[in-house]
Amino acid sequence: MAQTVKRAYKYRFYPTPEQACELARTFGCVRLVYNKALEERTRAFTLEGRRVSYAESSAALTAWKREEELAFLNGVSSVPLQQALRHLQAAFANFFAKRAKHPTFKSRKKSRASAEYTRSAFRYRDGQLTLAKMDAPLDIVWSRPLPQGAQPSTVTVSRDAAGRWFVSLLVEETIRPLTPTGNAVGLDAGITSLVALSHPIDDLTDQDGRVANPRHERADRRRLAKAQRSLARKAAGSANRAKARLKVARAHARISDRRRDFLHKLSTRLVHENQVVVIEDLTVRHMVKNHSLARAISDASWRELRSMLAYKTAWYGRELVVIDRWFPSSKLCSACGTLAESMPLHVRTWACACGAVHDRDVNAARNILAAGLAES
């Protein structure tokens, strides 16, 4: 059955100098309002034990605009400022429900520069998007079309550390499930190979079922290191340091863009070709504490792959099964079910008493698939 989901379409755009100046002012005002509201909420809760509501924060914003030193807040659209308060309200709701940590202050250098506009603060007509306080539409590179007849409900404008401008349009889209298939696949995450599959797939894996790890960070490590050394030699606060910082940010952006593109293609193919996808419940935040493997684990980005598999299986009528992290997938013989006493990490191939010779990762993927199908 088709389902209607909210989906964001992200595009790059190139603002005029006037638009860039207006957006930069908006980013600064959003950050200021968020931080002042957070300060007031924290003070009220710490000193008075009182929780501040969104309505109180909104009234405080109105009062701030009347102050002489904060009168510049009237020069930007009020919608992104109100949205900042709503985001802070959601952050505190998650904190009090113990789903997240206490909200932190936004930094001009470290936090993402962004502003969110609702329907009343933008106009989308004939494929052109115009934001409040602007006379001309944004010069957007429409790399892919929006769904037929879709109208954005919110628009988020952002600028990354590399100086690139992006606009994200949230629309409602009807997604039809894929044709059911009897295929199922188990995934074992790794470092030597990004993932090992329970069975090989043409043009995706080698003959054993392993997907090669592209190691995007390692491929660009020399370029990144050179840019970082150049940044370290620049005087703090100088124009040359700003240029060097931009080169470092661009190197990081290149790595993350290539990694995300690869994971999207991999996850999409796995979801399209299999009715059931089975993975392990890995705790990456604990695994990266191993200083010998932390860099490689971060480069593999297993958590992002799992996130992609989760929402794509939900979209297309597939099933994602997550098995317990303590399941002994590597020590269990997929042929006879014998459990080995130990299996150190350096052992990549092992033979069972039944005569079966296993590749460690492929054998683990087969056991993960069997356990997932049993749960499903």
In Å, the largest CA–CA distance within the chain is 83
pLDDT at 356 over 90: no
- Determine whether domain 184-214+260-375 maps to CATH 1.10.600: no
289 versus 27: the higher-pLDDT residue is 27
Give the pLDDT mean for 69-81: 96
Task: Measure the N-to-C terminal CA separation of the chain; round to a whole number of Å.
Answer: 20
CB of 209 closer than 8 Å to CB of 365: yes
Q: Given 22, 116, 299, 361, which residue is catalytic?
A: 361
* Phi and psi, residue 342, nearest 5°: -150, 160
Judge whether 20 and 13 are in contact, CB under 8 Å: no
217-231, 280-294, 345-359, range with greatest mean pLDDT = 217-231
Contacts with 46 (C-beta within 8 Å, 6 or more apart), sequence order: none
pLDDT exceeds 90 at position 111: no
- Give the percent of the chain with pLDDT over 70: 100
Inter-residue long-range contacts of 341-344, CB under 8 Å, 24+ positions, other chains counted:
none
Q: At residue 345, does pLDDT exceed 90?
A: no
Retrieve residue 135's tokens. 């006379």
pLDDT, greater one: 270 or 206: 270
Listed range (55-64, 132-141, 216-225, 287-296) with the worst mean pLDDT? 287-296
40 is catalytic: no
Give me Rg for the CA atoms of the chain. Answer: 25
| pLDDT of 207 strictly over 90 | no
pLDDT > 80? residue 1 = no
Distance CA 159, CA 136 (A): 19
Could you read off the pLDDT of 153-186 as tens digits, one per residue? 999 999 999 999 999 999 999 999 999 998 999 9
Where do the domains of the chain lie?
3-175, 184-214+260-375
Block residue for tokens 């932390």 = 294
Q: In this predicted structure, what is the pLDDT of residue 368?
A: 93
Residue 113 near residue 25, CB atoms below 8 Å: no
Mean pLDDT of 47-71: 94
Per-residue model confidence (pLDDT) at position 154: 97
Picking from 10-24, 112-126, 193-207, 340-354, which range would have the lowest pLDDT averaged per residue?
340-354
126 in active site? no
Reported confidence tier of residue 109, pLDDT bands at 50, 70, 90: confident
Of these residues, 116, 188, 217, 299, which one is catalytic? 188
Integer Cα distance of 6 and 254 in angstroms = 28
Do 219 and 213 contact (CB within 8 A), yes or no? Answer: no
Pairing of strands 165-175, 128-131: unpaired
Q: Are the CB atoms for 177 and 167 separated by under 8 Å? A: no
Rounded Cα–Cα distance for residues 290 and 285 (Å): 10
- Token digits for 39? 């300060």
The predicted pLDDT at position 195 comes to 93
DSSP 8-state secondary structure symbol assigned to residue 207: T
Let me know: does 118 contact 79? Beta carbons within 8 Å. Answer: yes
Instruction: Label residue 293 by pLDDT band (50, 70, 90).
Output: confident
The answer to whether the CB of 88 falls within 8 A of the CB of 103 is yes
Q: What's the rounded Cα separation, in Å, for the pair 323 and 321? A: 6
The answer to whether residue 299 is catalytic is no
CB within 8 Å of 53: residues ≥ 6 apart = 89
Average pLDDT, the chain: 92
Catalytic residue among 22, 116, 217, 280: 280
Provide the pLDDT for residue 2: 82
Copy the structure tokens of residue 184: 């199922």
